[in-house]
Amino acid sequence: MPVETVSQAELEQQRLYMQKVRSVFHIKQSPPLAYVHSYGCQQNVSDGERIKGMLSEMGYLFTDDTANADFILFNTCAVRENAVERVFGNVGALKHLKKKNPDLIIAVCGCMVQQEQTAKRLKTTFPFVDIIFGTHVLHKFPELLFTEIFEGGRIFEIPDSDGVIAEGIPVARDSTFKASVPIMYGCNNFCTYCVVPYVRGRERSRSPEDVISEVRSLVESGCKDILLLGQNVNSYGKGTDTDFPELLTRLDGLEGEFRIEFMTSHPKDCTHRLIDVIADSDKICRHLHLPVQCGSNRILRAMNRHYTRESYLELVDYARSKIPDLNLTTDIIVGFPGEQREDFEQTLDLMEQVCFDSAFTFIYSPRTGTKASEMPDPVSSEEKGKWFRELLEVQTRCGSKCYEKYVGKTVTVLCDGKGRTDDRYFTGKSRQNIIVDFDGSESDIGNFVDVKITKALGWALIGEKQDPK
Q: How far apart are CA 457 and CA 401, in angstroms?
A: 10
331 binds, among ligand 5AD, ligand SF4, none (CB under 5 to 8 A by kind): ligand 5AD
Helices (H), 33-94: 42-57, 81-92
In the list ligand SF4, ligand 5AD, none, the entry touching 333 (Cβ below 5 to 8 angstroms by class) is ligand 5AD
Our CA dihedral for 243, 245, 249, 251, rounded to 10 degrees, sits at 70
Q: How far is the CB of 415 from ligand SF4 (least distance, A)?
A: 32
Task: Answer yes or no: are the C-beta atoms of 159 and 199 closer than 8 Å.
Answer: no
DSSP letter assigned to residue 249: H
Interaction between residue 265 and ligand 5AD (CB under 6 A): no
Query: From the list ligand 5AD, ligand SF4, none, which binds 187 (C-beta under 5 to 8 Å, kind-based)?
Result: ligand SF4
Whole-Å CA distances, 284 to 40, 213, 253: 25, 18, 11
Going by C-alpha positions, the residue among 301, 231, 243, 304 that lies closest to residue 274 is 243
Instruction: Give the DSSP letter string of 383-397.
Output: HHHHHHHHHHHHHHH
Task: Using CB under 6 A, pick the residue from 43, 118, 232, 235 that binds ligand SF4.
Answer: 232
| 293 belongs to the binding site for ligand 5AD (CB under 6 A) | yes
Distance of CA 82 to the CA centre of its chain: 17
Q: Are 24 and 58 in contact (CB under 8 A)?
A: no
- Nearest-approach distance from CB 43 to ligand 5AD, in angstroms: 10
**x-or-dash pattern for ligand 5AD, window 350-369, by CB under 6 A?**
------------x-xx-x--
Q: Does 358 bind ligand SF4 (CB under 6 A)?
A: no
The residue among 248, 341, 226 whose CA lies nearest residue 295 is 341
- Quick check: 77 binds ligand 5AD (CB under 6 A)? no
What is the signed CA dihedral for 179, 180, 183, 186, rounded to 10 degrees? -160
Beta bridge partners, 360, equal 331
Residue closer to ligand SF4, measured from CB, 115 or 231? 231
Between 188 and 441, name the residue whose CB sits nearer to ligand SF4. Answer: 188
* Residues linked to residue 75 through DSSP beta bridges, in sequence order: 38, 109
- State the minimum distance, in angstroms, from the CB of residue 214 to ligand 5AD: 24
**Among positions 134, 208, 291, 295, the unique one binding ligand 5AD when judged by CB under 6 A:** 291
Query: What, of ligand 5AD, ligand SF4, none, does residue 190 touch, CB below 5 to 8 Å by kind?
Result: ligand SF4
Is 332:158 a contact under the CB 8 Å cutoff?
A: no
Which span (170-178, 188-196, 252-260, 374-382) binds ligand SF4, by CB under 6 A?
A: 188-196
Residue 130 and residue 146: Cα distance in Å, rounded?
Answer: 12
Cα 335 vs. chain centroid, distance in angstroms? 24
Q: Which is nearer to ligand 5AD, 82 or 125 (CB)?
A: 82
> What's the CA gap between 226 and 243, in Å, rounded?
18
How many CA atoms lie within 13 Å of 369's alpha carbon, on the beta-carbon side? 15
Out of 17, 177, 193, 403, the residue judged to bind ligand 5AD by CB under 6 A: 193
- Which range, of 119-127, 162-170, 191-199, 342-350, touches ligand SF4 by CB under 6 A? 191-199
Q: How far is the CB of 135 from ligand SF4 (least distance, A)?
A: 13
Q: How far is the CB of 274 from ligand SF4 (least distance, A)?
A: 16
Q: Where are the beta strands (DSSP E) in 171-272?
A: 178-182, 184-185, 204-205, 225-229, 259-263
Strand partners, 181: 228
231 binds ligand SF4 (CB under 6 A): yes
* 79 touches ligand 5AD (CB under 6 A): yes
For residue 346, the one-letter residue type is Q
- The one of ligand 5AD, ligand SF4, none whose footprint includes residue 433, by CB under 5 to 8 A per kind, is none
- Which of 50, 204, 266, 283 is the binder for ligand SF4 (CB under 6 A)? 266
Under the criterion CB under 6 A, does residue 394 sit at the interface with ligand SF4? no
191 binds ligand SF4 (CB under 6 A): yes
DSSP state of 39: -
- Select from 190, 381, 405, 443 the one that contacts ligand SF4 (CB under 6 A): 190
The binder of 199, among ligand 5AD, ligand SF4, none, by C-beta within 5 to 8 A per type, is none
Q: Minimum CB separation from ligand SF4 for residue 186, in Å? A: 9
Task: Report d(CA 14, CA 446) in Å as an integer.
Answer: 34
**How far, in Å, CA of 128 to CA of 98, rounded?**
7
Answer yes or no whether residue 197 interacts with ligand SF4 by CB under 6 A.
yes
| Rounded CA separation 135/131 (Å) | 13
Contact between 196 and ligand SF4 by CB under 6 A: the answer reads: yes
Q: Which does 197 bind (CB under 5 to 8 A by kind): ligand 5AD, ligand SF4, none?
A: ligand SF4
Indicate which single residue of 52, 80, 136, 289 sits in contact with ligand 5AD (rule: CB under 6 A). 80
Instruction: Please tell me the distance from the alpha carbon of residue 91 to that of residue 19, in angstroms, as a whole number.
Output: 29
**Chain positions contacting ligand SF4, by CB under 6 A:** 187, 189-191, 194, 196-197, 231-232, 266
**Chain positions contacting ligand 5AD, by CB under 6 A:** 79-80, 193-194, 291, 293, 331, 333, 362, 364-365, 367
